[in-house]
Amino acid sequence: MIYLDNAATSMMRPPEVVDAVARALTSMGNASRGAHAESLAASRTDFVCRRQLASLFGVSDPQRVCFAANSTEALNIALMGLANPGDHVISTDLEHNSVLRPLYRLQAERDVEVDFVPANREGVLDYGAFARLVRRNTRLVVVNHASNVTGNLVDIERIGRFCRERGLVLVVDASQTAGTVPIDMESAGIGVLCFTGHKGLMGPQGTGGLCVAEGVEIRPWKVGGTGVLSYLHTQPEAYPTRLEAGTLNSHGIAGLSAALDFIERTGMDVIASHERALMLRFLERVRDVEGVTLYGDVVRDPVPQRTAIVALNVRDYDSAAVSDELATTYDIATRPGAHCAPRMHEALGTREQGVVRFSFGWFNTEEDVDAAADAIREIAS
* Nearest distance, CB of residue 288 and a copy of itself, angstroms: 27
* Nearest distance, CB of residue 170 and a copy of itself, angstroms: 19
Nearer to a copy of itself, 3 or 130 (CB): 3
Helix (H) or strand (E) holding 369: helix 366-380
* Nearest distance, CB of residue 208 and a copy of itself, angstroms: 8
Q: CA torsion 294→297→299→303, rounded to 10°?
A: -130
Q: CA torsion 156→162→166→168, rounded to 10°?
A: -10
* Nearest distance, CB of residue 286 and a copy of itself, angstroms: 19
Q: Give the three-state DSSP class for 261.
A: helix
* Nearest distance, CB of residue 253 and a copy of itself, angstroms: 9
Nearer to a copy of itself, 72 or 177 (CB): 72
Nearer to a copy of itself, 12 or 299 (CB): 12
End-to-end CA distance of the chain: 23
Nearest Cα to Cα of residue 4 among 288, 98, 144, 12: 12
Nearer to a copy of itself, 101 or 164 (CB): 101
Nearer to a copy of itself, 160 or 307 (CB): 307
Nearer to a copy of itself, 34 or 118 (CB): 34
Quote helix, strand, coil % in the chain, to nearest 5: 40, 15, 45
Nearer to a copy of itself, 99 or 183 (CB): 99
E strands, the chain, where? 2-3, 65-67, 88-92, 113-117, 138-144, 169-173, 192-196, 208-212, 292-295, 309-314, 332-333, 356-359
* Nearest distance, CB of residue 189 and a copy of itself, angstroms: 25
* Residue 167 to residue 117: CA distance in whole angstroms: 19
* Nearest distance, CB of residue 25 and a copy of itself, angstroms: 5
Tell me how many degrees the CA angle 348-322-313 measures, rounded to the nearest 5. Answer: 25
